[in-house]
Structure 1
Amino acid sequence: MANSATARIAEEPGGDADAAAKAAALEADFDELDDTKHELVADNLIKDYVLAATAASIVPVAFFDIAAVVAIQLRMIQKLSHLYSRPFSESAGRKVIYALAGGVLGYGAGYMVAASATKLIPGIGWMVGMVSLPVVAGASTYAVGRSIIRHYEDGGTLLDFDSSKMRAFYKEQFESGKDLARKVKGKARKEGFKEEAAS
């Protein structure tokens, strides 16, 4: 779009190189604005899904919480695929989620299963699971989302996603995601108390 406008200015009789250069610079500015807007939309999308995953992990039923978090992460990948104009398939999305979370021990799937299983312990089990699972679910969702964005920005698709190349980045993003998930968990808890007090 922008390149064709520059070409037209340069080809027009009497069109000058200065005008073409100015048009090219203006087009580059618009492209940069589009990239920034794109990044902001993707970032906000991930934050929304971190909130959803954190809330879903509060469900007191063991293992149902994990299924809910995986479904939320799949929906996030679908939305990011649409945003970046990449093809989406549920099976490829699941493979990416399991490869990232399962391939990094202590940074996702293994820890989530253990935390969810504590909900089976009568009495105190649900409380133990509630302490850590929301943070892990939120951080994992954040790390999956950031990994997908990095891969898409490098020109990849779900079909050529190589989790072994993304593990270090996933770990780094998981740690960053913990802070966001803690804030989200605290906010959800405060809002829950407000609702209880109002009723």
Structure 2
Amino acid sequence: MLLHEIPGWYHARNSPAQRALFPKGLVMRMEEKPNQSPTSSSERPMSPYELEQREAQARDIVGKHVLWSLGAGIIPVPLVDVAALTAINLRLLRTLADHYNVPFSDHVGKSIVSSLLGSVSGAYLGRYLVYTILKSVPIVGSVAGLASVSLAAGALTHAMGRLFTQHFETGGTLLSFDAKAMRKHFLNEFEASREKVASMHQTPPQPPA
């Protein structure tokens, strides 16, 4: 039973005995009705337009990092591009978290990025490492290595961005993200992203109207 529900409490609250037992602020808080809380403007639901704008800005963030990954893929020093790709994806995760006002931890972020990138090791990462080593071979490397590594790097980053845009849009956080459970979904996003990034390179620029 709450204090304000006790018979006689309200009329006796200002008695010397009550004032001696309870500080004034505590008595006031005890008299507050349950489920009464101030309404914060930050809790106001976003309009459909605001939601659309937020997601569009997230796509721009992902697109920028995809371009950086494409550039990292053509770094001529073998394995350095792998380190650069990891750093770019970590930065992407941090930027998206900031965009959605989600708390970010470098330790958790690195663990997630490593787990997701490692999920492609069986089918793709071995091939990726072969291509990145081939880049050191004259002529052959310039053909077999640069294009393949660049496209794969861009697709990995695009998949990472797509996955976390969806996760944050639905109210998820880094702590609620289960990297192991999402590996298959990440692979599917990677497959779709490979086609999208490849089509970006194949689409000729449109002449100005």
Give the corresponding residue for 1:102.
118
- How many residues are aligned here? 165
- The equivalent position to 2:188 in structure 1, one of 172, 177, 182, is 172
- Compared CA separation, residues 109 and 159, structure 1 to 2 (3 A): farther
Residue 42 of structure 1 aligns with which residue? 58
Cα pair 1:86 1:157 within 8 Å, conserved = yes
Which of 144, 168, 184 aligns to 1:128? It is 144
Q: Which has the higher helix share?
A: 1
Where does the alignment leave 5 or more consecutive residues of structure 1 unmatched? 6-26, 191-199
Tell me how far 1:104 sits from its aligned partner.
3.0
Q: Is the 8 A contact 1:107 1:171 kept in 2?
A: no
Q: Look up the match of 2:164.
A: 148
| Partners of 1:42 and 1:83 within 8 A in 2 | yes
Taking structure 1 as the reference length, the TM-score comes to: 0.71
Pair 1:98–1:145, CA change in 2 (3 A): same
The residue aligned with 1:194 is none
Any conservation in 1 of the 2:79–2:133 contact (CA below 8 Å)?
yes
Shift in alpha-carbon separation, 1:63–1:105, aligned structure 2, 3 A = closer
Deviation at 1:124, TM superposition (A): 1.6
1:78 maps to which of 72, 81, 94: 94
What are structure 2's unaligned runs of at least 5 residues?
1-38
Cα distance in 1 for residues equivalent to 2:107 and 2:200 = 29
Is 2:72 the counterpart of 1:56?
Answer: yes
**In 1, Cα distance between the equivalents of 2:90 and 2:74?**
19
CA distance in 1, matches of 2:84, 2:100: 24
Q: Deviations over 1:73-132 (max 9, x none)?
A: 111111100011111122222211111121233565444323212223344234311131
Native 8 Å contact 1:140 1:174 kept in 2? yes
Instruction: State the SS of the aligned residue for 2:180.
Output: helix
Q: Which amino acid aligns with 2:53?
A: K
Cα distance change on mapping 1:186 and 1:64 into 2, 3 Å: farther
TM-score when normalising by structure 2 = 0.68
Identity of aligned residues (%): 31
Q: Give how far 1:154 is off.
A: 3.2
For 2:105 and 2:86, how far apart are their aligned partners in 1? Answer: 14
